[in-house]
A = this chain, B = another copy of it.
Amino acid sequence: MKAGRPAQRGQCAKRLSILEAAAAVFCREGFSGASIDEIAAEACVSRQTIYNHYREKETLFTAVVEDVMDRSNAALFSVLATFPDTADNLENELTAFAVRLNQSCLCNHDGKFLRKLVYSEGERYPHLFETWRQHGPGKVGSALAALFSRLAHKGVLAIDDLDLAARQFLALVNADLQMTVLFGETPSDDLLERTARNAVRTFLRAYGVQHPAPAEA
C-alpha cells in the first residue's frame, strides 16, 4: 500500500509492448481495420490488459500517435543538430546531412507510420495532426531556414527567402523516396546517397554562390 509505483517495471514493459504492437497494426490496417484482439496477440498481452491501460480503442490510438510523434520529432531535431557548420566541401556535407535526414526521419518505421496515418486519419483527428504539423514539419522548416542563414552569412549561399529555400530543400531531398518506402521497399544505401546528392546538387545550382569571390572587391 506504500505510495509510489508498484511493479512499474512490469507495467512499463507491457505499455511499451502494447504501444509497439498497436503502432504496427494501426500502420498496417488503419484505425478501423485494426482490431484490439490483433493488437493484443501481437503484443503478447491479453485484451483486458489493453483496456486496463487505455480505456478504449480511440485512447490507445491517440497514445500511439503521440508516442510516435515524440520519437519522430526527437530524431528530427537530433539530425538537425548535425547540420554542417563549415563551408568546405559543402556538397558532400549537405549530401551526408540529407542522407541522415532521410534515414532517420523518412525511411524508418516511425516516418512511414506517421505519413500513412496522417494521410489516412488526418482529417478525422485534425487537432492531433495539426499539433504534429506545427511541431514537426513546421518547426523543421524554420530550423533549417536558420541553419541556411548561417551559410548565407558566410557567403556560400545566396538566398533571399530562407523559409522557401528550406522547404524546397526538403522537397528535393524527400521527393523520390516517399513512394518507395510506402510500398514496403527499403531503399539501399546507394540509392539514398544518389538521391541526396542529386537533390543537393540541384539545390546548390539554384542557391549556391558559384565561385567563392572572383571579383567585386
Contact = CB atoms under 8 A, between A and B. Distances in A.
Contact of A32 (B32, B122, B170, B206): B32
A85 interface: no
Contacts of A31: 30, 33
A11 to B, nearest CB: 31
Interface string A192-217: 00000011001101110000000000
A120 interface: yes
Copies of the protein in its oligomer:
2
A98 to B, nearest CB: 13
A179 B202 CA distance: 23
Nearest to A29: B32
Interface residues of A, number: 39
Contacts of A118: 179, 182
Contacts of A30: 30-33, 120
Interface string A41-81: 00000000000000000000000000000000000000000
A131 interface: no
A115 B123 contact: no
A164 B198 contact: yes
B168 A175 contact: yes
B179 A170 contact: no
Interface string A104-117: 00000000000110
A123 B120 CA distance: 13
Interface in A157-174: 161, 164, 167-168, 170-172, 174
